[in-house]
Amino acid sequence: MKKDIEIPVAKDVQIAVILEWNDEFLSKDWNVYLINNSKDTIEMAIVVSKGFDGDVKTSTMRHGIGAMEPKSYRKVELLQEDVLALNNEFFVTFFKENKLFEKRFLFPKHTITEESLAPIPILNQEGILSNN
């Protein structure tokens, strides 16, 4: 029965976008990070990302992150400047406590800007944390 199906809620996992200096290209780049802010290890983490706005769509990117220790973070991908004008969606799935969790994060178009930067304690940097 439908009432017997338990859908666990993914908590303490977030996506952050950080503006970082790139020594190799001597430029500031937007990088996406997955944050495990929980007290448990997450396993087999996968991040699927895409940008979209009406008929305009980017390629769908899939990133196998693997296991992440508690209170840790991992870089997922670089965001090109031209996709900042699109809605950027990140769909995260992982296992914890032998259950499958999933969560969708959305950065609406034009919200990833230098004016939106705020401190992100776990990374000790300024960035934009997902609101979802």
Architecture of domain 2-126: Sandwich (2.60)
Cα maximum dimension of the chain: 57
Interval 18-43: pLDDT, tens: 999 888 878 899 999 999 999 999 99
Sorted by where each begins, the domain ranges of the chain are 2-126
pTM: 0.91
- Answer whether residue 1 shows pLDDT above 70: no
Q: How far apart are CA 132 and CA 125, in angstroms?
A: 20
State how far Cα 115 lies from the chain centre. 19
Six token digits for residue 72: 């840790």
* CA 43 – CA 27 distance, rounded (Å): 33
pLDDT tens per residue across span 34-73: 999 999 999 999 999 999 999 999 999 999 999 999 999 9
